[in-house]
Amino acid sequence: MSLKLVQEFAAFLDNNRYDEASHLLAEDCDYHYFEGNYKGSKNIINIYLQNDLESKKIFDEMTYSSNVEEMSDGNYKINFTDKIRKGHLHHEFHSYQIIKCNSNLIVGIEHCDIPGEIDALRMFYSRARSQKIDLP
């Protein structure tokens, strides 16, 4: 049951279906991110939503995909791939999250950045901002 739950959660996030994803989180779910700790399903879903909205302001196109792995400790790992386009340049950004579940809801999320990914994204954005875009 939990594997399917996490797969559904990841699929909802990939398709910007935040309301549906929120129903898979416990009301007191914890989210740990380098910026801080957050609690509550509404706060957590708002993080995903705001990240998507901010990305759409910066980049011309964003496509999200993910896959879920079951871990030996009973938790799950969602591997995220964000395909980004700015002008004529493309980039893939990778991260993952460790998901903890009870019998029917997600109770904990730990966001993990992969070393070098944030720097590569910043370099991509810097290159993309300085590129000349040919208009039709």
Contacts of 31 (CB under 8 A, 6+ apart): 37, 38, 39, 43, 44, 47, 108, 109, 110, 111
Q: The whole model's pTM is what? A: 0.89
Find the range with the poorest average confidence among 17-26, 60-69, 124-133: 124-133
Cα gap 133→28, rounded to integer Å: 46
Handedness of CA 77, 17, 86, 119 (dihedral sign): negative
Q: Are 112 and 77 in contact (CB under 8 A)?
A: no
Confidence at 5, pLDDT banded by 50, 70, 90: very high
Q: Is the pLDDT of residue 81 over 80?
A: yes
Each domain of the chain, given as residue ranges in start order, spans 2-130
Domain range 2-130, its CATH number among 3.10.450.50, 3.40.50.1100, 3.40.50.10580, 3.40.50.1010: 3.10.450.50
Per-residue confidence band for 136, with pLDDT thresholds at 50, 70 and 90: very low
pLDDT on residue 132: 56
With beta carbons less than 8 A apart as the criterion, state whether 38 and 46 touch.
no
Rounded to an integer, the average pLDDT of 76-102 is 96
Confidence of residue 33 (pLDDT cuts 50, 70, 90): confident
